[in-house]
């Protein structure tokens, strides 16, 4: 799709959650490069202001920032208020984080917070912006899923379950919203070189860059239902998909065991 066609379909404004670093930041940069104005959403106000200024300087478009904690009703309402007067054509729901280790040792407060950010916030955004996009008759939504969401994954059991939720939601919404002119894409990367691993307390080896994730997702929007960015992620997908879910879980248990062995038993 040409730059003009992309702006016509998915512009003039895009809302990007989790925009302060990693995948969200890469999406914001590439959308601005394609000619869209962007709303950057994350918790850190100073970091957002810094990134917003840098994006304006590089690409010349309009940028607004919304400092909001998406695990709270107040944060979700702040995003809705800040975008109420904008003609939003694209939602990129990339805010989220992971946890790792034995579920029985988990901090339930942290797990509840992750559930709110990874699942409820995405649901809220899909309903709110989905209605707006359907009403204008065109637009798109990109939801960040993960390779771990296609089966249970020991030692990251709850995080994998949250991503299974996102994957299922995206698959269904793609069919529901297509007649209304709205494209829905699940972006399901494997390991990504970002701050995710440190927060999830994992040690990752080979990983794709956030720029690759954003580029492949934007190029796939309107053409696919799910995109798996990066060569390594594609290889893992093709190798695991033919196997029964239980066997995939056993294999990934070994992988996660290596990524979390520094935690001990």
Catalytic residue among 109, 163, 178, 234: 163
Structure tokens belonging to residue 133: 């996009």
What is the distance between the alpha carbons of residues 162 and 144, in angstroms, rounded to a whole number?
11
In this structure, the dihedral spanned by the alpha carbons of residues 228, 200, 41 and 90, taken in order and rounded to 10 degrees, is 10
DSSP string, the chain: --HHHHHHHH-SEEEEESTTSHHHHHHHHHHHHTT-EEEEEES-HHHHHHHHHHHHHHH---EEEEE--TTSHHHHHHHHHHHTTS-EEEEEE-------S-GGG--HHHHHHHHIIIIIHHHHHHHHHHHHHHHHT-EEEEEE--GGGGS--TTSHHHHHHHHHHHHHHHHHHHHHGGGTEEEEEE--SSBSSSHHHHHT----S-B-HHHHHHHHHHHTTT-SEE--SHHHHHHHHHHTTS-HHHHHHHHHHHHHHHTGGG--
Residues 6+ apart with CB under 8 A from 243: 251
Catalytic residue among 159, 165, 224, 234: 159
Active site residue 10: no
Active site residue 234: no
Q: List, by residue number, the catalytic residues.
A: 159, 163
């Amino acid at each position: 799709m040409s730059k003009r066609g992309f702006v016509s379909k998915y512009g003039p404004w895009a809302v990007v959650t989790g925009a302060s670093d990693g995948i969200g930041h890469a999406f914001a940069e590439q959308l601005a490069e394609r000619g869209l104005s962007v709303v950057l959403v994350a918790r850190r106000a100073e970091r957002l202001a810094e990134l917003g200024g840098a994006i304006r300087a590089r690409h010349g478009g309009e940028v607004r920032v919304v400092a909001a904690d998406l695990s709270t009703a107040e944060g979700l309402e702040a995003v809705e208020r800040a975008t109420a007067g904008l003609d939003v054509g694209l939602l990129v729901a990339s805010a989220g984080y992971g946890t790792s280790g034995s579920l029985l040792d988990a901090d339930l407060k942290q797990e509840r917070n992750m559930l709110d950010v990874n699942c409820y916030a995405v649901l809220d955004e899909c309903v709110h912006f989905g209605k707006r996009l359907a009403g204008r008759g065109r637009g798109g939504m990109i939801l960040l899923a993960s390779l771990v969401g296609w089966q249970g994954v020991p030692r990251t059991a709850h995080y994998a379950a949250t991503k299974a939720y996102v994957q299922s939601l995206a698959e269904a919404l793609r069919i529901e919203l297509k007649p209304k002119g709205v494209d829905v894409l699940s972006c399901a990367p494997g390991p990504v070189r970002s701050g995710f691993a440190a927060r999830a307390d994992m040690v990752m080896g080979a990983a794709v860059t956030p720029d690759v994730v954003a580029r492949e997702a934007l190029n796939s929007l309107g053409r696919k239902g799910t995109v798996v960015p990066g060569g390594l992620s594609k290889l893992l997908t093709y190798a695991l998909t033919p196997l029964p879910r239980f066997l995939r879980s056993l294999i990934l248990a070994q992988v996660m065991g290596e990524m979390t062995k520094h935690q001990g038993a």
